[in-house]
Structure 1
Amino acid sequence: MSVNAGPSGAVRVVSSPLPTVYGAFEAVGYLDQDSGEEQVALVYGDIGAADGEGILTRLHSECLTGDAFGSQHCECGEQLAGALRAIVAEGRGVLVYLRGHEGRGIGLLAKLRAMKLQAEGLDTVEANLALGLPVDARDYRVAAEMLHDLGVRSVRLMSNNPRKREALLRHGVEVGEQVPLLIPPCEDNITYLRTKRERLDHHLPHLDAVVSSP
């Protein structure tokens, strides 16, 4: 098995075809030598060999409750599905699935504790702080390294979070456009989404239509 080193901690270990309900992707597995985390990028079409410019890209933070269990506390599962559909419709693109980002980087059990506090009346920011944890502990270094290794020079970033754009720019990935990935809110996540907009600066203009809802 060949191992190709990226520019820093991300080391490419394996690449395998991955047929999905959305389309036929290539799963490219990496080991982050700094954190020890195993990471994966789902690649569709020719993203690097031609020019590597303007690649439709999603950096998706691991969310077991949303991605696997269909939780409506957040919109993560629907964003994951929407991003994969958009990449296939585009004809090429990449989704970097960032393990170790559970609960904005605080881990699964801490996230569940935070969710319990939210059910008791705190918002998502207040809950993390009440637990003595950072509001957002995520680091996007490894995502940038994976994109560099894949030959991606600039991206059209599917995200509502300005911090993801800033992080990629810091790590040398050009962001030509930030593409909204807006999911219709539901009763169970509207408070969470409002907090993301009001306290975490997420661009969520579609909430205006429901801003007065109880």
Structure 2
Amino acid sequence: MYESQTTAVVTVPEVTVRARVGVTLHRAGGQRAELVTFSGLPDAAEHLAIVVGEPAQSVPVVRLHSECLTGDVLGSARCDCGPQLEESLWRIAADGGVVLYLRQEGRGIGLYNKLDAYLLQDQGADTFEANQLIGREADERSYDVAAAMLSALGMKRIRLLTNNPDKVAQLREYGIDVVDAIPTGVHRTVENARYLEAKALRQGHTIALSGTS
């Protein structure tokens, strides 16, 4: 459990809800959900909130999920993104909350750059080194946009479904009170083992390296 924040926070731009669209999600057990779009997002990208159910507690469960076309759509085994999205929708459907689907492909470097980095990974670089070898940062994501979306949804105090301590730190910096960090499962396979090890050892993700999917 995290203590309530007491330090000064960085102000994020005020955004508003643009539209709410109802859908049924097979990946959430056939439950109804709302897809929420926004106006005034600070980076002008088309980020999306997926609101599922009603929070069972006063503090909703939230997942920040960065877009991964290869993992989320194509089911690539190089990463754990697809299984994490699937798990998040099921878990949030049970408790009620929101998945923020953030258009931050390749930890913010874009799809083509990510695929270029894959070529370097095939030559031995880890996922963070590969980004840097093509002239990008290891992780270029900023979660100010996520904080703005949560504020527009009235979710200023949350439980965050994540293994990534940077998400907790940034959300708190941008004024969101993260009262708990709930770890996701370890979706480890032979093919993504080095990727998960790099996240744990280089970025401090709370991943049990001996776990299996």
Shift of 1:9: 5.1
* Distance in structure 1 (CA, Å) of the matches to 2:52 and 2:41: 25
Shift of 1:59: 0.4
Q: Residues 121 and 114 (structure 1 numbering): CA distance in 2 closer, same or farther, change over 3 Å? A: same
* Distance in structure 2 (CA, Å) of the matches to 1:81 and 1:96: 13
- The reply on whether 1:191 has 2:194 as its aligned counterpart is yes
Shift of 1:127: 0.6
- The reply on whether 1:12 has 2:20 as its aligned counterpart is no
In structure 2, the partner of 1:120 is 123
Which among 143, 148, 151 is matched to residue 148 of structure 1? 151
Which among 84, 89, 104 is matched to residue 84 of structure 1? 89
Structure 2 matches for 1:157-196, cutoff 5 A?
A: 157-196=160-199
User: Does structure 2 retain, via aligned residues, the 8 Å contact 1:53–1:152?
Assistant: no
User: Does structure 2 retain, via aligned residues, the 8 Å contact 1:63–1:76?
Assistant: yes
* Distance in structure 1 (CA, Å) of the matches to 2:175 and 2:41: 19
1:12 counterpart letter in structure 2: V
In structure 1, the partner of 2:133 is 130
Normalised by the length of structure 2, the TM-score is 0.88
* Distance in structure 2 (CA, Å) of the matches to 1:112 and 1:133: 13
Structure 2 matches for 1:29-68, cutoff 5 A?
A: 29-47=37-55, 53-68=58-73
1:96 counterpart letter in structure 2: L
**Runs (4+) off by over 6 Å:** none
2:100 counterpart letter in structure 1: V
Q: Deviations over 1:82-141 (max 9, x none)?
A: 000001111x11110001x10000000000000111011111111111111100000111
Segment drifting more, 26-35 vs 162-171: 26-35
User: Does structure 1 retain, via aligned residues, the 8 Å contact 2:83–2:187?
Assistant: no
In structure 2, the partner of 1:103 is 106
In structure 2, the partner of 1:208 is 210
How much identity, in percent, do the aligned residues show?
39
Shift of 1:183: 2.8
User: Does structure 2 retain, via aligned residues, the 8 Å contact 1:54–1:154?
Assistant: yes
Q: Deviations over 1:21-66 (max 9, x none)?
A: 012111111144432211110112335xx9x842111000011111
Q: List gaps (5 residues or longer) in structure 2.
A: 1-11
3-state SS of the aligned residue for 1:192? Answer: helix
* Distance in structure 2 (CA, Å) of the matches to 1:11 and 1:77: 29
Shift of 1:209: 4.9
User: Does structure 1 retain, via aligned residues, the 8 Å contact 2:43–2:145?
Assistant: no
* Distance in structure 2 (CA, Å) of the matches to 1:209 and 1:80: 18
* Distance in structure 1 (CA, Å) of the matches to 2:190 and 2:82: 16
Q: How many residues align?
A: 198
Shift of 1:12: 1.9
Higher RCO, 1 or 2 (CA under 8 Å, sep at least 6)? 2
* Distance in structure 1 (CA, Å) of the matches to 2:170 and 2:45: 19
1:75 counterpart letter in structure 2: D
Q: Deviations over 1:158-190 (max 9, x none)?
A: 100000000110111111110001233111100
3-state SS of the aligned residue for 2:210? Answer: helix
